[in-house]
Amino acid sequence: MTIEVDLAAPLRIADLRAAREPISVRVGPAVRERVTAGRVFLAKVLGDDRAVYGATTGFGALVGYAGRADQRDQADNTLAHLGAGQGPDLDPDLARATMLVRAHSLARGDSGVSPHVVDALAAALGTTFAPAMPRLGSVGASGDLIPLGATAQALRGRGDAYLHGRRLPAAQALQQAGLEPLPLDGRDALALVNGTSLTTAAAALALDRIRASHRVIQLLTCVLADLLGCDPQFLDAGLFDAYGHAGAITVAARMRVTLDGTTPSGTRPLQEPYSIRCTPQLLGAAEDALRYVDGVVTADLAGVSDNPLFFPAADKVVHGGNFFGQPAAFASDVLTMVLAQLGNLAERQLDLLVDPVRNGGLPPMLAAGPGRQHGLQGVQLASTALIAEIRRDAMPASIQSLPTNLHNQDIIPLGTQSALRALDQSRLLALITGSLALGLRQAVHVGARIPTASACARVVVALAEAIPPIDPDRPLEAEVRLAAEIAESLAEPCP
């Protein structure tokens, strides 16, 4: 069944996920009325001979020079110089999410864009069409100019695009998808590129992935504690009321529900290592940070990222900086910090689980026949490499400003780099959680008890039904990914 997204309604992260497949994008009467009103007002403004950036002027540092007189030529003037991106193409799924975010921003009616531009974005999203967008080239200020420039050109039938996952010349992709090349004037072209829609889409999808991993680690920590026979007093409600942090109170409450019915073994130390005992405090701090990012992403998905903006009721054209992606830059760097510490935690929990000194006497590396077999040894090595990869790239991008564009852009947020990095690393984090889940499944095979809390036991049973024990050794890369998927499917979304 095709998902419908109404551009008159708030845009949700779930809509961005859905956009990886063809979706029905509704451009209803209210949207069409306000977009048309903005376009009519633009014509009036130009008729009054008022200066409008990008419609009557050059771009960026060349704003002091007149643009081309013909508005169709002005579209070329806008887009041609942006064909300077480098690096591999972005994932077509992300490119399509970006198109949806851009359509929603333009549908607000404040951009002076032609209604047929919104219609064209909606039509493209109804197919498998995705522009070929270069990864490198955006500084997240004046919008994601270069990748969005590639999007605009692909919609015009220039450059390259994907259809059914296959890279083609854009003109050919449009024709095969049953789409017409998009005609643009100067204002239309600038409105398509002068926003941070790629940054917003990447940050939103990264948040979605990291929230999923956050839920998974809550669940797997409970399974680990139950499997080892830990005393659940580290989750005591009074303890967290005294602590006073909202996120930790929420996380501990969720974990208490998961561990309901557990029976301590009585053989564990009085105090567990921090990777168990302090998990609700760590995950609670992550929850508080993710709530901050929730707010930023919600605002970015709802807002207008463009310049200038047009307000017909006030007879105003306002030139400003709503394309400046500093909120998403800060938020994405927070996501990177959160996911790095989540990865640290899951990797340390796996290390505890394979260590016979700390795992209650289970065999080293959870090997069914130590020496003759190696159990989780390769998986742990890979997990160490994954967390090292994440930590190496954890330097905040949002503080790395440097001037460009003849000092017109003399300070920049670099939110695109922040958001794309967080999205990339979120995939690595899921592999670490999958490694931990695989270890929990193997621990039961080599002698650990079946967890005594019913919710924890269900996780082990689900993993065991899908993944045979590691006995004898075999390549495990596919099982790590499968374990990650199973754990995510069992971790309930946050209310």
Q: How far is the C-alpha of 417 from the C-alpha of 419, rounded, in Å? A: 6
For the chain, the residue count is: 495
Q: How far is the C-alpha of 41 from the C-alpha of 308, rounded, in Å? A: 13
Question: Can you give the three-state secondary structure of the chain, one letter per residue?
Answer: CCCEEECCCCCCHHHHHHCCCCCEEECCHHHHHHHHHHHHHHHHHHHCCCCCCCCCECCHHHCCCECCCCHHHHHHHHHHHHCCCEEEECCHHHHHHHHHHHHHHHCCCCCCCCHHHHHHHHHHHCCCCEECCEEECCCCCCCCHHHHHHHHHHHHCCCEEEECCEEEEHHHHHHHHCCCCCCCCHHHHHHHHCCCHHHHHHHHHHHHHHHHHHHHHHHHHHHHHHHHCCCHHHHCHHHHHHHCCHHHHHHHHHHHHHCCCCCCCCCCCCCCCHHHHCHHHHHHHHHHHHHHHHHHHHHHHHCCCCCCEEEHHHCEEECCCCCCCHHHHHHHHHHHHHHHHHHHHHHHHHHHHHCCCCCCCCCHHHCCCECCECCCHHHHHHHHHHHHHHHHCCCCCCCCCCCECCCCECCCCCHHHHHHHHHHHHHHHHHHHHHHHHHHHHHHHCCCCCCCCHHHHHHHHHHHHHCCCCCCCCCCHHHHHHHHHHHHHHCCCCC
From the candidates 53, 162, 243, 274, give the one annotated as an active-site residue: 53
Q: How far is the C-alpha of 74 from the C-alpha of 97, rounded, in Å? A: 27
**CA dihedral sign of residues 150, 154, 157, 159:** positive
Residue pair 387/432 in contact by the 8 Å Cβ criterion = yes
Active site residue 53: yes
Which amino acid, 273? Answer: P
Residue pair 134/86 in contact by the 8 Å Cβ criterion = yes
- Active-site positions read 53
